[in-house]
Amino acid sequence: MRDVETFVALEPDQPRRRRRGHRFRGLGLADPCLSLQQQRLLELERQVEGGREAALRQVHRALEAGLELVDRRERHGTHDNSAWLTRSPPCCALRAGGDRIGSGIAFDEERGVTSTSLEAAQFVVPTSRDEAVQAFGDGSGVTVFAGGTILMPEINYGRLRPAHVLMLGRAGLSGIGHKDGAVTIGAMTTVAELEDAPEPLGSAARNVADHEIRAQATLGGNLCAPSGGGTPRGDLQAALIALAATVRTAGKDGERTAPVEDFLAAGADGRLVLEVELHEPKRSGYAAARRPHAHAYTILAVCAAETSEGVRVGISGAGANALRARHVEDALAGGASAEDAAQKALDDAQPQDDALASAWYRQRLLPVLVRRALDDLGGGK
């Protein structure tokens, strides 16, 4: 393992020797030093990044248009947010918990990069939690607009055209509360607001993308985030698993609470995320590897926490959603050392290739990060 640790120890932001062919990337040309597969992955990454700034501008325009719409209705005494509005804002919107694709949404796979038209879309802007739950119903055909940082590129590229948009900006679903040792976090709480949350959630939040994204993205959207664009998503999920967090959701059968790992396994379809509850751990640990770009992408992240249930370990970046490393936890409970327990990580995770890293690299990186997170936990941080 020592060779592997040397391989991954270099921090992404350390100076590196300019590679031959660097000038080709500056011109937007293929780097002759890269394999064809690597060139394709880099091109995919550039395409994903290309829509980022436009997507953020569209998010702000959609929020402003939606709030202007509800203000106009309030002034004219037509404050009935249970009814869908047939007039659409001059931009776009999203779905479930902020950034989730749901049923009833039309896709156009062949349009490519084009402007988005929502002339036929219907909108509702609830002003309370109850109104949001009522408007969501069973979630059929509903696109929930929260932070919008994930699916806006889908709309910007013409791959997503929602029919019914539920805008949660005024639903009162944001904020962090403390009561009887429990921490309750609303689904609309931004990632930036979580930077001072209990560890390892705070560390995970501080390492999400960049300040612009953190200020816009929401906890609910991160929980519902599907993998896509050749990169893993859901940076906060591993921390929530480690903290034994529970998720409160609403749907056709009413409200219910479930452990975060069960929610992730079942999927967010038909469920509106309302809040997350967790308790501060006795100790915590965090380790991650990132790839720098216009903002940093997390290749893998490992979170560990000592809770009332014992030590829990969550891993993100090793699959479509974060997962709980039960084999690692069992090894620790059996008295194994951090290094020995870390070797069990690959019994829980099956890393895949994507635009950030190969499965081969992740398989060698994961045990190292698990051991570092457990060492961090042992240090009482």
Listed by start position, the domains of the chain span: 50-167, 176-378
List of residues 6+ apart from 276 with CB closer than 8 A: 184, 185, 187, 219, 223, 240, 245, 246, 247, 248, 260
Give the model's pLDDT for residue 118.
54
Helix (H) or strand (E) holding 182: strand 182-186
List of residues 6+ apart from 82 with CB closer than 8 A: 124, 131, 134, 135
Smallest CA-to-CA distance from 319 within 301, 341, 343 is with 301
Architecture of domain 176-378 in CATH?
Answer: 2-Layer Sandwich (3.30)
First to last CA, the chain: 24
DSSP annotation of 29:
P
Distances (CA, A) of 281 to 285, 310, 380: 10, 10, 11
Give the model's pLDDT for residue 229.
57
Give the model's pLDDT for residue 304.
99
Give the model's pLDDT for residue 8.
46
- What is the block-wise mean pLDDT of the chain (381 residues), using blocks of 10 residues? 43 47 48 58 58 55 58 57 47 35 36 47 89 95 86 73 87 96 97 98 94 94 78 90 98 96 94 98 96 79 96 94 97 97 96 90 97 89 47
Gyration radius from the chain CA atoms: 21
